[in-house]
């Protein structure tokens, strides 16, 4: 979902792998890597630190593994698995060891599987009559302390053209927890942001899609993701599609396993802040494949995620719009309120779709 930084400053980030292609400016990622005069795949602007390349036979997509250690400051979004939001998990955030298992082909701790509902769905996320999407939990007064914003229920607004998740200015004052909640008060942040979490409990293998519009503002992030809590058997997992305003012509396609992050930056061939485009992830036991406007842009066969059929593993589907709080300029950069801006700062979402894996074969 995000690049995270601990209070101790332990952070590592592998630079982007840019694919050089002669197909043309309209191409997103070529199905066959471009080759140099020696018929070798061309890779430009690659920092080989913490990067392992697995380039398979011609005709396949380059697969990239970037191992990022985060350390003890990592924790899952408290809003995603809070008792306050009826998610059957404790509100205590866990902090995996920086020496926890890295990403790889691992097995789940329990071989016993439970069936998941096989139910495709389509949600336009638009309405003339309601202001908040009814099938989603909208967190309020919480959010990761690493961000410069806090979730505000009023910042998620449904319109006839889709759902808008706004960024607004905040008074920055501490926000008390609701009566009876075990969650400590949020210390407050200079901005408000928003998140919407699907109430559907049948999250499993299949294809997830959403139409999104981002912004071109440094530090603003617009995202859709699947996430399992870090206390689940086998550890937490996360599969992300993230658009950052620092470079709206690219998408970050990410998989988390515990405190280890695997991220690839993919050129889009367009500006994601200028209009609607469809972003998809197909999640199967054997692979994870991302698509943009129906064209596959990345396929990973080297990553393990917690099996959603395992007892105790519950994934959530979520979308959010938030502000990054770090000056680093490799991913999102630090958000500053734009001067003289006349239009809202927001991520926009519509047409969330799910097709179960059984119906994709």
- pLDDT score for 232: 67
CA dihedral 148, 343, 268, 157 (to 10 degrees): 70
Q: Which two tokens stand for residue 230?
A: 């870090």
CATH number belonging to the domain at 18-359, selected among 2.60.120.200, 3.20.20.100, 2.40.30.210, 3.40.50.620:
2.60.120.200
Catalytic residue among 84, 91, 93, 242: 242
Q: How many CB atoms lie within 10 A of CB 336?
A: 13
- Domain range list for the chain: 18-359
Residue 199: both structure tokens together: 């109430």
Structure tokens at 229: 């809590």
Active site residue 296: no
> In 3D, which of 60, 2, 66 has the Cα closest to residue 298?
60
Among candidate residues 84, 93, 195, 238, the one labeled active-site is 238
pLDDT given at position 79: 55
d(C-alpha 333, C-alpha 218), whole Å: 6
Q: Which long-range contacts does 80-84 make (Cβ < 8 Å, 24+ apart)?
A: 80/197, 80/227, 80/229, 80/316, 80/318, 81/229, 81/316, 82/139, 82/142, 82/183, 83/182, 84/178, 84/181, 84/183
Which residues, in sequence order, are CB contacts of 136 under 8 Å at separation 6+?
A: 156, 196, 197, 198, 199
Q: Which residues make beta-bridge pairs with 121?
A: 354
DSSP per-residue letters across 5-70: --TT-----PPP-EEP-SS-TT-SS-SS--B-TTSPBPEES---TTEEEE--STTS--EEEE-EE-
238 is catalytic: yes
**Which spans in the chain are helix H?**
none
Identify the segments of the chain with pLDDT beneath 70. 1-118, 230, 232-235
């Amino acid at each position: 979902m995000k690049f995270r930084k601990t209070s101790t400053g332990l952070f590592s980030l592998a630079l982007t792998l840019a694919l050089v292609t002669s197909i043309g400016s309209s191409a997103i990622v070529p199905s066959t890597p471009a080759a140099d005069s020696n018929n070798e795949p061309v890779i430009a602007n690659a920092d080989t630190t913490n990067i392992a390349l697995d380039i398979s036979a011609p005709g396949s997509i380059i697969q990239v593994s970037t191992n990022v250690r985060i350390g003890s400051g990592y924790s899952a979004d408290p809003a995603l698995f809070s008792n306050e939001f009826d998610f059957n998990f404790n509100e205590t955030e866990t902090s995996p060891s920086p020496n926890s298992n890295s990403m790889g082909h691992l097995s789940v701790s329990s071989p016993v599987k439970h069936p998941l509902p096989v139910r495709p769905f389509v949600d336009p996320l638009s309405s003339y009559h309601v202001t908040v999407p009814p099938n989603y939990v909208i967190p309020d007064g919480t959010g990761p302390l690493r961000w410069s914003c806090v979730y505000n229920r009023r910042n998620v607004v449904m319109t006839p053209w889709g759902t808008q998740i706004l960024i607004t200015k905040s008074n920055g004052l501490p926000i008390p927890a609701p009566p009876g909640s075990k969650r400590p008060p949020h210390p407050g942040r200079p901005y408000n942001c928003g998140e919407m979490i699907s109430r559907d409990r049948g999250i499993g293998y299949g294809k997830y899609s959403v139409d999104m519009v981002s912004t071109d503002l440094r530090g603003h992030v617009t995202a859709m993701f699947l996430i399992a809590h870090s206390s689940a058997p086998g550890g937490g997992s996360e599969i992300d599609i993230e658009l950052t305003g620092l470079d709206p012509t690219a998408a970050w396609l990410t998989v988390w396993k515990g405190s280890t992050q695997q991220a690839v930056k993919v050129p889009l061939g367009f500006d994601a802040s200028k209009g609607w485009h469809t972003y998809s992830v197909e999640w199967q036991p054997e692979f994870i494949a991302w698509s943009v406007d129906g064209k596959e842009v990345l396929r990973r066969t080297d990553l393990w995620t917690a099996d959603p059929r395992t007892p105790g593993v519950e994934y959530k589907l979520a979308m959010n719009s938030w502000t990054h709080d770090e000056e680093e300029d490799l991913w999102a950069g630090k958000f500053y309120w734009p001067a003289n801006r006349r239009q809202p700062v927001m991520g926009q979402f519509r047409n969330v779709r799910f097709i179960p894996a059984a119906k994709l074969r």
